[in-house]
Structure 1
């Protein structure tokens, strides 16, 4: 969509996700932005549990984010949606979906700790989704920081396209702009050199500006909006900003960067929608046009105690209106948008409509699920967003209620929590009769148990998952059994000769009918196999299933009157 045809309301929307490692200060940074924009009176405190985005009682007690949360503000005529995400690797299932909803990834780095693994992981994931990346170095006020060394490390790890938009000044009490200003004082490096590097990096994507730059020696940055957005879109430029959420240094400048330089919904790369069934889906060109068909994506599920199941969504195309009808994926029956609101931490702000780029929530809709696409035209039912690559939950724990008879209630609580976290998994182990929960690590499961106890309102018991062992054989063997039963009336008779042979690991079970001459009629052979399988299921030594073997039935006897299916089941099992 061209800038000329873009709806002005959509052009005034920015959507950002704050991602990065734990203790980088993302939650306080969001509070600082909210306060600077006038959305809250002053920034909150982690210690007092008064931040906007860490509103869950468990988050406040532990002092760090456990789930993604949303906030929004309007400043300078721009509506900014922000998603705060947890930084611990165990909660990456809450952080990654934020990238599906944002146009810009603010990768926050702790100036004291330097580049951590989660920063690399999230910046890489943002690049894969085609998002604009903005690196924010927070906590520049902390002592013993090597900011020049950190900037050099950022460029070494993430690439030479990482260039500072501003630099710390006056002992990190403020920052000096390097894009719009051609000169100035900074604590290190040179504003003039940084300005020159930025302009050169931007004009490289547009041949006309290259010629002007080579002729004139400089280009007014205010003329560079289009090539700047192209450079951001293509990853040719990854800006770096410095700030301190604690002191407020650089917060106003970061807000201006988001408003003036970061992309609106039409300036970023299009979302990776796909259309089609089967193995060959084609890219679908969603457009941020409020007049087009609706395409919205559920990137978060919340089980609200008052509003029930709540779907948090990003509108990518069209206009979602209160009272409107939407289809969920392939469903034939539409849902009605009865409640439509924006989220401000724990608070709900009712709205009448949401435009492309807006983040909002709908409530009291049981038919929605994580990763669902909402649309208002049935011909769009085969459109979906390219799935994220989540890590596999492999850390398991068996869980059961302390009160007998509460198994169903506990299962419902677990299912609700799995709805909210794509990196949680539950299953009922048939062999061990245990309810198993799987997460990304010990911390993930520990916090899951805290939530379970809170929602279940009772004590739960845990233990390691029991191992479902298997038995097998190491050498061939023979078996024979004659089943004969006479009780005055019709009798039972069946006789089976068989041998068992070991197979390669993983081969499973083979049953071979090698009987010659009709000593066991064909209609009784399934009964023999049924008996054999029954014996294998209970094992030979410790009661575990026998696997990786072949059973060959080669002889037997039958009786024209007394042979019955049950007789050959018994003979096969006992042989």
Structure 2
């Protein structure tokens, strides 16, 4: 790692076959929007020789080529893979969006990777969402390192940023978050800011000067060494404390000098085990330069310190019927098990699936079994089919480079998988297997849409099915009560991107309309009415009269029908007809067009004609009787109520509870969850939380999460019910 020369058994340059899992590193870059992840990927690609100084790949295009939406939004909205090679090791760099709306792309990157680089801007610090992702990685023991960017900022301070990172990420052990290098500053400019021109290695005590655009190594002057000693001693103690050699600390404290080779090996093992988290600095190359500051050191950390796919604990694998299956970890010769981590559409190639192979070897033009994936509630159907895959390729910007196969531990793009969606498992057709799906957050922002024109209406269904196939964080709902098509999204930016993709990629123009919740109606008190359907117009007439009583029932009772007819006033064969008419009218509603629930309708009397009475006539009379009863009675409008659980930092608990109360919410209680987090539980009318996903993010600065589940319908306050009725009249 700048300080080493191929000393760790798993590092680059060792006797490792090029086509073996040990020669692969899968690294996901994590950080908030604007932290510099994509710029860092480009800098690493330049240093590794994957692109030239103009930022272009050998066969055209750039590493940062993204779709039209990303150019317009000026931010990443999708996971992208950039493979580079350093010292014989293939490094798959997975660049993830930093904006919270695209957490699905982030989760896909975490699933496909074996280690994470947390990119932190020296100008902006560490935000709450980055801390939350760190905690997720910690929960599964994923190795991590921290890269400080934007050192050119006038207010950048590497030492202060390192301290902030130790506080944010080193809650259990601040001495596990320490720098490997300290920045070297050049002369101060007119603004008083001294630019960073190089690094000094704390272990090797060597200088690495990048000021010429090429990394040059030298020995520091004796005047510099005392300045490094305190930071060096702390780093050595941090490394030794995580060493697998339990005698090393005692020997070190006893005055023994630990040799550099041992320190580097222990450092790399501690990083690979996910117990030590080095802090590095990096910056893009200057105009015309070949290497960006810190990129060599970062590439050497990745190849030497980050684990190989062989060291990763694999997700659980079962047969499609749920029987556990034990597999040898990351065996290229084992049964095929691969997972689709991303699905996209290319205008030239068609549908492309980014796949991580966990076992076996994937080859082009073979038939595989597609299994998955337990998200039917989001509009993603389960799959259990065979498909013939097309060509395999590895992406670089907009280019696709063909590859002959993809071994266990590696990633590749697969063409022509028409049925497989993100999260599905690919396996051998004669040995179908299923991987445990990764957890995806629920989309909680509803966006109601309708086709802009008749031509769009014809293409809408297919466009929506393709859209949700690409994105497991999106849920498609065809609401049977409101008759709306609803896309459930992660936030406004997610919704904007989805609608833009519908338009530009699938040629479907839609209009966003106000989202309606599923309201209900019920009778507030007992009522009676008479339904009379009598028509004589020559020939066969229609004759049916029925009298009913309606009484309210407890919540959840639905619609009950009873009869107390005496003396054959309504012939027995027509009583089911009355019930059918009553239930049909209840489904349509009696006051506002919302379904009627929680009532008992009793047929008590009526009249029939020997010739003109019929099934249809008594159905009509039953419906008329129910409408007449509603006209004379008070009708309550019922609104759905959800139980909401908000996980929020202790600093924002008061603001969240106050906000929930303003939404007519009833706080049910709070409980402490871990350190510094509180779970607030409340019941809130759904009409009040349609935009809660957006509002909560703003209220908590992106640090809170919430979930919701329907619990019941209950009467809406009269003044709000009147407003809703007026809005419904205007809409109709």
Band the TM-score falls in, shorter-chain normalisation = 0.7 to 0.9
When normalised by structure 1's length, the TM-score is: 0.87
Contact 2:340 2:422 in 1 (8 A): yes
Contact 1:341–1:349 (8 Å) recurs in 2: yes
Match of 1:315 among 348, 357, 363: 357
Pairing 1:123-522 to 2, within 5 Å after superposition: 123-159=134-170, 160=174, 161-170=176-185, 172-179=196-203, 185=224, 190-203=230-243, 205-207=244-246, 217=256, 219-220=258-259, 222-223=261-262, 231-232=270-271, 234-247=273-286, 248-268=292-312, 270-275=313-318, 287-329=329-371, 334-376=386-428, 378-381=430-433, 383-401=434-452, 403-457=453-507, 460-483=510-533, 494-505=544-555, 507=556, 509-515=558-564, 519=568
Q: Deviations over 1:275-325 (max 9, x none)?
A: 2678x8758556111110111110000111122211110111111122333
CA contact (8 A) 1:273 1:286 kept: no
- Which residue number in structure 2 is paired with residue 26 of structure 1? 37
What is the CA-CA distance between 1:44 and the residue it aligns to? Answer: 3.8
Paired residues of 2:392 and 2:412 also in contact (CA < 8 A): yes
CA shift for structure 1 position 38: 0.6
Choose 468-477 or 509-518, whichever is displaced more. Answer: 509-518
Q: 1:528 aligns with which of 578, 587, 597?
A: 578
Aligned residue for 1:235, secondary structure, equals coil
**Are 2:604 and 1:542 equivalent residues in the alignment?**
no
State the shift of 1:177 in Å: 2.6
Contact residue 266 and residue 287 of structure 1 kept, 8 A = yes
Q: State the TM-score, normalized to the length of structure 2.
A: 0.70
- CA gap 1:72/1:22 in 2 versus in 1, 3 angstroms: same
Pair 274,212 (structure 1): closer, same or farther in 2 beyond 3 Å? farther
Which segment drifts farther, 439-448 or 97-106?
439-448
How big is the alpha-carbon RMSD for the aligned residues of Structure 1 and Structure 2? 3.5
Size of the aligned set, in residue pairs, is: 565
After TM superposition, the structure 1 stretch with the greater mean CA deviation from structure 2, 66-75 or 120-129, is 120-129
Give the Cα separation in 2 of the matches to 1:51 and 1:301: 21
Change (3 A) 1:220 1:412: farther
Q: CA deviation at 1:54?
A: 4.0
- How much does 1:221 deviate? 5.4
* Residues 341-393 of structure 1 deviation map (CA, whole Å, 9 limit, x = unaligned): 11112110100011122110111221211100111154443x22332232424
SS in 2 for 1:472: strand
Over 3 Å counting, the alpha-carbon distance change for 1:388 and 1:336 in structure 2 is: same
Contact 1:202/1:231 (<8 A) preserved: yes
Runs of 5+ in structure 1 lacking a partner? Answer: none
2:78 touches 2:105 (CA, 8 Å); kept in 1? yes
Residues in 2 aligned to 1:104 and 1:312: alpha-carbon distance in whole angstroms = 18
The alignment partner of 1:83 has SS state of strand
Does the 8 Å CA contact 1:36/1:251 hold for their aligned counterparts?
Answer: yes
CA distance in 1, matches of 2:501, 2:396: 22
Specify which of 100, 110, 125 is matched with residue 89 of structure 1: 100
